[in-house]
A and B are shown apart, each in its own frame.
Chain A
Amino acid sequence: MTVDAVIVGSGPGGATAADVLTRAGWTVVIVEKGRNHLLDPDDLSRPAADYSNDELKFIYRHFLGPDPLIEPRTFRRGEEEGDHAYVGEVNSIPTTVGGGGTHADGKVPRFREEDFRLLSTHGPVDGAEVADWPISYDDLEPYYAEAERSIGVAGEAGANPFAAWRSGPYPMPSGAPMYGAVLSSAAAVGVGLHPYAAPTAANSVPYDGRPACNNCGFCAFFGCPIHAKGDPVALLMRAMASGNAELLAETFVSRVCTDGRRATGVEVIGPDGATRRIDARYVVIAAGAVETPRLLLLSGIDHPLVGRNFMVHFQTFVIGILPERLHSHKGRAVTHVHDDAMIVDDAARAAAAEAGLPWIRGGLVEHGGPSLPVMEAKIYPWGAKHKSLMRSSPMRDRMWAFTMQGEDLPQLTNRVDLDPIVRDVRGFPVARITYRPHRHEIVASAHHAPRLVRVLEDMGATWTMISTSPLVEGQDRRGPLSAIPMSRHVMGTTRMGDDPRTSVVDSRGRLHEFDNVVVADSSVFVTSAGYGPTLTLVALAARAAASLVGESSPG
């Protein structure tokens, strides 16, 4: 039997493709490497009850996968470090039904107009592959609006003075602001910044059959126990309810099968370890910007740019300790953000010129506070002071943090390829990440961080600190771990473009070399902007799937 489409990966990209295609009457098989803890195994159109407010299960025991003992990755900064400098957990977003959407805290900003035309707006940067996207914000706007409706986004149109135009309001009003964010927003306004309620995929009111968020506080890194979060649960439940979709969990796609310029299906290894084929008219790959290029390379699809231009946000953390308790364990993980560091103003231009760069852009700044006591405890030293530190809680209950998701310029040398030595549990070469930030990221970080220190001081902070991930070379004394970016915002490894010599997929996400293979995740991003990738990749996946529906009828 040949299905209309086989979809590799059940995260936000694959779930979106499944939803769009099944609504058009296509038959799809969704193949997911990880386990199903998202949907009720007895009725896949309903949510499961596996998620919980359990720090050990979600943070330390790999409940959402991947477990680095059976699915490691490797990392090095550059070829001078040999085959790899580290083996283990590297930029791991969940390997589970629902993918990265399940553990995200659901901040889902849109990109802005200039993010799609960086080269023509600001010009080239030496050593970076700055380029315009083959599509514009206007092309994507209807899909952004559809994405916000389908996953459910709460926000306030007009609250962000720098936002791109939008065709309508958010589907839901914003939820309750964190107490710390009330204070930090006021202080940020005081220094001329423009904080606003973060567009958030967590229900502020009952929406689409799912309840309103009840502020439990276990948001970032956790699956939502009441399914109030706009992870792909709504999309997957709808696809399964259509009767046109089959979900194969714990099933690994080892190869895309091809014949000439067309794919014929995929080879999979099921939970029992047996290999079989799934024949399909179209193959949609949505395994994330690390596993997608890995699958292409395992399949012998080796366009010279596959895996190149790997991007991940360069994170700047500006943290402060306050005299007062902020109880960040109540409510959503981050309720306020500001865009000011994305704007290339005179001060940013001057800082760039001083560093010999044409321009710098920072990224979205998130206002948030830590909430988890085991994580806090591990920061403090052992011994007589442990308990008093935990009670006064400078590193959790009295800490406030700004995280800037700095734009990471694409570079050919930053890449995903196959590790020559390390294997996964099924015997396949694992993804190796070679990454080092461009000087742009470091200069932008250094330019924007001091202003955030001032905001913390105005809030009343008695101690502040600036850090980055990865740490700037020369400042790191903690071995290879500090060179690995902590951000899970992976992007760019099958770049989108009109010219097959400078891009891997076309503007609809199709591989230039294979007419019926679509990439439907953040692998296709041309540049990284400074915004979380989820909403943009959902919009792109919806657009790519719509182009399939427009081209072909269900078989």
Chain B
Amino acid sequence: MPLWFSDEEFRILRAVCDCLIPEDETPGAVSTGVPDYIDGLLGAFLVDPPRIWAGGPTSGRHGGEAAFARFHRLSRLDELAWRTRIEGSRGLPEREFNGPVVGLQERYRSGLAALGAEFCDLAPEDQDERLRRTGTHAFTAMVYEHCCEGMYGAPEYGGNRDGVGWQSIEFPGDVQPRGFSDAEVAGP
């Protein structure tokens, strides 16, 4: 169940993510949980504290406590900046001191609506062609950036499920407090 998207929007989003980072011999965006990452970003303020900055100093994956799971509290200005980025300025004067800002939620909502439910039923090559079209290009670029974040960012943000994004590229992820030995650094 998506946190912020409607079920229909989420279905289209999954199809888009599947085109952008498809599964091959290792998992792609969908099975890695990228749509959940994007849903978590757009719905960051539906949880408390908002899911913007994971805690520190350790995740528990290499020792230490699972502190990433304790998200930071935001200051008044942090919240203003992140609500503006996600929700848009919505005509609120305190968010529009340099003019209106279109939020991520609106960009996703209108981008997915423009693709429509029929996008899910297109053949893969037709889906690719739709995503490359001039009118869709900026939307595709934004979703791809978020796909990369959801594939290879810390699992606490909702993507990279069980670290499979990292495992598939043999990247260890966060390594505190273990770190690496001098020999591991200097040798092949």
Contacts and interface: CB of A to CB of B under 8 A. Distances in A.
A487 interface: no
A35 interface: yes
B148 A374 contact: yes
A50 B75 CA distance: 14
A436 B154 CA distance: 38
B162 to A, nearest CB: 16
B177 A330 contact: no
Given A70-B77, A423-B98, A377 B151 contact: yes
B121 interface: no
Interface in A418-464: 422-425, 427
A127 interface: no
Contacts of B114: none
Nearest to A66: B81
13 contacts: A52-B56, A70-B81, A176-B183, A179-B187, A179-B188, A216-B176, A226-B57, A273-B76, A374-B151, A382-B144, A387-B23, A387-B26, A391-B170
Contact of A215 (B20, B72, B128, B181): B181
Interface stretch (A53-61, A239-247, A543-551): A53-61
Given A50-B56, A225-B57, A382-B21, A373 B175 contact: no
A67 B76 CA distance: 13
Interface in B149-188: 149, 151-154, 157, 165-166, 168-188
Contacts of B19: 382-383
A53 B77 contact: no
A226 B28 CA distance: 34
Interface string A395-412: 000000000000000000
B87 to A, nearest CB: 12
Interface in A460-482: none
Most B CB contacts (10 A, CB to CB) among A54, A72, A391, A427 go to A54
A339 B169 CA distance: 35
B140 interface: yes
B175 A387 contact: no
A390 B168 contact: yes
Given A69-B84, A425-B81, 13 more contacts: A49-B56, A50-B57, A52-B176, A57-B54, A69-B81, A72-B98, A176-B186, A179-B185, A215-B181, A225-B58, A384-B24, A387-B23, A391-B169
Given A35-B75, A179-B185, A387 B80 contact: no
A52 B54 contact: yes
B185 A87 contact: no
A225 to B, nearest CB: 4
Contacts of B128: 383
A485 interface: no
Nearest to B188: A179
Nearest to A49: B57
Nearest to A374: B152
A373 B177 contact: no
Contacts of B113: none
Nearest to A53: B174
B174 A215 contact: no
A56 B56 CA distance: 13
Contacts of B176: 52-53, 214, 216, 225-226
Contacts of A55: 152-154
Given A54-B54, A225-B57, A391-B168, A215 B179 contact: yes
A388 interface: yes
Interface of B: 19-26, 28, 52-59, 67-68, 72, 75-78, 80-82, 84-85, 97-98, 101, 128, 131, 140, 144-145, 147-149, 151-154, 157, 165-166, 168-188
A170 interface: no
A213 B84 CA distance: 38
Given A178-B186, A373-B166, A52 B57 contact: yes
Contacts of B186: 176-179, 182, 331
Interface of A: 35, 49-57, 60-63, 67, 69-70, 72, 87, 175-179, 182, 213-218, 225-226, 250, 271, 273, 324, 329-331, 373-374, 377-378, 382-384, 386-388, 390-391, 393, 422-425, 427
Given A215-B185, A331-B185, A387 B168 contact: yes
A34 to B, nearest CB: 10
Nearest to B159: A56
Contacts of A273: 76
B188 A382 contact: no
A378 B145 contact: yes
Contacts of B53: 57, 61, 63
A35 B72 CA distance: 12
B20 A386 contact: yes
A358 to B, nearest CB: 43
Given A176-B182, A423-B98, A52 B20 contact: no
A69 B101 contact: yes
Nearest to B144: A382
Given A54-B154, A374-B148, A377-B152, A178 B169 contact: no
Contacts of A63: 53
A186 to B, nearest CB: 13
A225 B68 CA distance: 12
Given A179-B186, A382-B140, A425 B174 contact: no
Contacts of B68: 52, 54
Contacts of A330: 180, 184-185
Contacts of A57: 53-54, 154
B22 A384 contact: yes
A447 to B, nearest CB: 32
Contact of B180 (A54, A70, A214, A424): A214
B19 to A, nearest CB: 7
Contacts of B72: 50
